[in-house]
A and B are shown apart, each in its own frame.
Chain A
């Protein structure tokens, strides 16, 4: 059982929901990322999504685009991120999921990617531009390494596609709350609840909702009918505000994350 699966089991036993935080690895540098993960662990985060910066993040809005650019300026790449995870594993059992565009996996080599990611202590992967139909190799290799593959389901996904996505997903299923890119939004679509109810009929795997979620109130609302809530851009916005003062940035981001995590407790 992976750290992710174990975490969901624990959360379920307590009749609670998961809070998942996204940060971009290397934004603004890897040392800050390391401190953020450890602080978030204390702040009540259940799973961390570590974004791997990419030059062309076409599923991301302006906030995460800027985070990626800051990380790329520091020449952050997969080998450096694997080293970071290895370091982190000395201090935390926090489930870590890599959020990464497919070109970076393909170019690194699918088999090598899964082996090195797992070897470093990462638990799974989310690929925003990879649909299950194109993921045979990644899924096959990941099963061999007991590495979780988390696919995304969208408001436009048909029942047939949800079945496929659920079938190929391990750990959890990432439900995209809206048609659009990542980024904080003021209000959430009313259809989320209905659609998740439908998905629950199809699969028993945990369903976590992300994209557009930005306030403790939204986290609380969503957590009533899904298994976990994911926040990314809103956290990065907090970091960005104090990007020049790292201590303050980490402190404020951790405080914000704590308030978000309370929403699911």
Chain B
């Protein structure tokens, strides 16, 4: 679906931003609308997705995992095989090209796990754009490998030590930078969040995940999958997988981070525990206290550690098009081990949440059914965290 003229999916979305940014959003909207119907832009983006990012990624039938869980056939959409190690590059290539078209010499990004930061830094190097990335000091500690990668790619990484010291505050700081340098800088938001047109635009760039999946399922004679499963932080890999199946009968399941536990209050289960509010430019579900102050989220995975969620997901929840569930840190680690041991694939801790949920889901399914899971990223970045715990 398209958002309405004001950028709303149902009741969610919109533009809640300082006036200073309105001119830039209008420019971006125009440029993106032009690019969408421009064959040359599509050709150029396809070229980079294919030759640079390594698309299409495979849709791998996880035979051993299927057998271990004893239910439906499980297919993994292998976004972990993308260049830079996650689906994030699909979006940064698209927005990077737009930045070039808008003649912005500088790009900035926020990052949690560092995957979006690395994907932005790579695109900065590729297109010759100056690149600065904001990252919470807590995340810099737990994802130090990605910090080093960004620096190798020529980006500057600015530590953010305010508030939760994670993705939420990195995003605040990126927005402050953008307001200040709006004339020369394009802000590459890494998820389907932010003011319109970002949620729809990032979704469109990530929809390649679902479109490829559709064609790949057809090739193995699966008419329609029964379940699509993906982790949800801001929600870009999940929307990317879900969106092209919007009109199908496939059930969508978004897996949020339950952190230590829902009860403990230390979690990132926005859909389960949040109420509608405004953060980072759009109206959507939000973890907040009784006064409307945004709460600090918690998750073992830096990429899911976010108190908000993309507005289109809120619309999916509201209309019951998707179901949202949650998986604790502990369960995610079990998923991490499970995939490593059964298939020889080490997932990112974010993606491990989706894998972990399969343990619950598979047993309720028939062997003739099909589940597609988005394996949004690879786990190299998480080895240190996991080593400490296991």
- Name the residue on B nearest A80 (C-beta): B291
Contact present for B176 and A156 (CB under 8 Å): no
B residues in contact with A165, CB < 8 Å: 19
| Residues on A with beta carbons closer than 8 Å to the beta carbon of B275 | 107
Residues of B within 8 A of A151 (CB): 19
User: Residues of A contacting B181 with CB < 8 Å?
Assistant: 179
Tell me the complex Cα distance, A106–B294, Å. Answer: 13
Given contacts A131-B22, A156-B22, contact A104 B291 (CB under 8 A): yes
A interface majority secondary structure:
loop
Q: How many contacting A-B pairs (Cβ < 8 A)?
A: 109
Interfacial residues of chain B within 30-84, with CB under 8 A of chain A in the complex:
none
B23 within 8 A of A: yes
For B11-33 the 0/1 string (1 means CB < 8 A from A) is 00011111111111000000000
Contact across chains for A176 and B15 when beta carbons are under 8 A apart: no
| Among candidates A130, A155, A158, A161, residue contacting B16 with C-beta atoms closer than 8 Å | A130
CA A232 – CA B176 in complex, angstroms?
A: 17
Measured between beta carbons, the chain A residues less than 8 angstroms from B286 are 103
Residues of B in contact, count (CB < 8 Å): 38
Check if A158 sits within 8 Å of B23, measured CB to CB: yes
A56:B179 contact, CB within 8 angstroms: no
Residues of B within 8 A of A19 (CB): none
Query: Contact between A128 and B278 (Cβ–Cβ < 8 Å)?
Result: no
Query: Which B residues are in CB contact (< 8 Å) with A152?
Result: 18-19
**B387 part of interface (Cβ distance < 8 Å):** no
Residues on B with C-beta less than 8 A from A59 are 18, 176, 179
Contact of B6 among A108, A133, A179 (CB under 8 A): A133
Instruction: Report the Cα distance A107→B18, complex, angstroms.
Output: 19
Whether B20 lies near A131 (C-beta < 8 A) is no
Residue from the list A61, A103, A179 in contact with B279, Cβ < 8 A: A103
Q: Give chain B nearest CB distance to A239 CB in angstroms.
A: 19
B163 touches A133 (CB 8 A): no
Q: In the bound complex, what is the Cα–Cα distance between A236 and B32 (angstroms)?
A: 41
CB pair A157 B19 closer than 8 Å:
yes
Which of A58, A72, A102, A134 contacts B293, CB < 8 Å?
A72
Cβ-defined partner of A58 (8 Å) among B6, B14, B175: B175
Chain A residues contacting B168 (CB-CB under 8 Å) are: 56
Task: Find chain B residues with CB under 8 A from A134 CB.
Answer: 6, 14-16
Check B128 for interface membership: any CB of A closer than 8 A.
no
- Using Cβ atoms and an 8 Å threshold, which residues of chain A touch B3? none
Contact of B179 among A102, A106, A179 (CB under 8 A): A179
List residues of B (107-151) whose CB comes within 8 Å of A's CBs: none
Q: Does A65 contact B (CB under 8 A)?
A: yes
A187 → chain B closest CB, angstroms: 15
Over the window 99-134 of chain A, the binary record of Cβ atoms lying under 8 Å from chain B Cβ atoms (1 yes, 0 no) is 001111011100000000000000000001111011
Q: Do A181 and B163 have beta carbons less than 8 Å apart? A: no
B369 within 8 A of A: no
> Is residue B277 contacting chain A, with contact meaning CB distance below 8 A?
yes
- Nearest CB on A from B82, distance (A): 30
State A59–B60 Cα separation when bound (angstroms): 45
Judge whether B10 is part of the interface by a CB distance below 8 angstroms: no
- Contacts of A56 on B, CB cut-off 8 Å? 163, 168-169, 172, 279-280, 294
The answer on a CB contact under 8 Å between A155 and B17 is no
Cβ B23 vs Cβ A54 within 8 A: no
Contact with A along B179-200 (1 / 0, CB 8 A): 1111100000000000000000
Report B275 CB to chain A, min CB distance, Å: 8
Chain A residue contacts of B18, Cβ below 8 A: 58-59, 128-129, 152, 154, 176
How many Å lie between the Cα of A31 and that of B286 in the bound state? 32
In the complex, the answer to whether B20 meets A176 with C-beta atoms within 8 Å is yes
**How far, in angstroms, from A6 to B7 measured CA to CA in the complex?**
38
Judged by a CB distance under 8 angstroms, whether B288 is at the interface is yes
Q: A55 within 8 Å of B by Cβ?
A: yes
Nearest chain A CB to B296's CB is how many angstroms away? 9
B154–chain A nearest beta-carbon distance, Å: 26
User: A57 CA to B168 CA in the complex, in Å?
Assistant: 12
Contact of A103 with B20 at beta-carbon distance under 8 Å, contacts A56-B294, A108-B292 already known: no
Known: A56-B172, A104-B291, A181-B179. 9 other contacts (CB 8 A): A56-B279, A58-B176, A58-B280, A59-B18, A65-B162, A103-B294, A129-B17, A157-B22, A180-B180
